[in-house]
Structure 1
């Protein structure tokens, strides 16, 4: 889709902090993170939400989501995480391209679920990506 920010990221028109890419999916650090390693996993093909995405692509996204969760556990010891998808404006979906959020949780979160954006984490992206290599 021409005006979709995620499509532009996938096509290389907008830079991103890529965590993973394969034939059908792309994963990158969220530039409005609410925790370290807050990651978005998207299908490369544009589908608005869970109601639109074909099952085979949904499964590809979930396989990628699981692989990234395993990577974060194995490389970084991040074993506590939240996964979610927002479908529709009432759920605060702001980019209408299907995506899964992976949000690792740590003691730093003080056991509270928060959707507060933490812009200071963006400065740490280079170091964060380097730790995944």
Structure 2
């Protein structure tokens, strides 16, 4: 179990653990032995879906690679389901890990958000081309 700015979180108190255990109502889209996909209770668009591992991991940093592979496999299955059944060919895949990255539920999860023109969900980032001058310096810190 990891901690964050607000202290250690118990798996017993984790809303997504409760969803995965069937203790809280959810609208299941897909499930297998390791992952669970369900509609976001505060959707940005129709069919906005969350994918979680059934085991509790707080964020990308403490989730083992093999678990991430399973989560991403489910992300692909959900996106393909939406393409096959609904003709949806535009989705946004999103994860936030950490308070400063705007993570609000501290159980790793990925959003699959179907997108279309006029959905008013613009998520454009501000770019900083002036930072290109620092690329060599930034790479040195990674070596």
Sort the TM-score into its range (normalised by shorter chain). Answer: 0.7 to 0.9
Aligned CA RMSD, in angstroms, stands at 1.4
Residue equivalent to 2:69 = 59
Distance 1:3 1:92 in 2: 20
TM-score (normalised: structure 1)? 0.82
Residue 20 (structure 2) pairs with residue 15 (structure 1): no
Residue equivalent to 2:111 = 101
- Among residues 102, 109, 113, which one is paired with 1:92 in the alignment? 102
After TM superposition, where is structure 1 displaced by more than 2 Å over at least 4 residues in a row? 110-114
Residue equivalent to 2:38 = 28
Residue 14 (structure 2) pairs with residue 4 (structure 1): yes
Q: Deviations over 1:93-113 (max 9, x none)?
A: 110000000000012315733
Residue equivalent to 1:39 = 49
TM-score (normalised: structure 2)? 0.76
Residues matched between the structures, number: 114
Q: Which has the larger Rg?
A: 2
Q: Deviations over 1:38-92 (max 9, x none)?
A: 1000000000000011111100000000010000011001100100110011121
Higher relative contact order (CA 8 A, sep 6+): 1
Residue equivalent to 2:140 = none
Task: Point out where structure 1 has 5 or more consecutive residues left out of the alignment.
Answer: 115-133
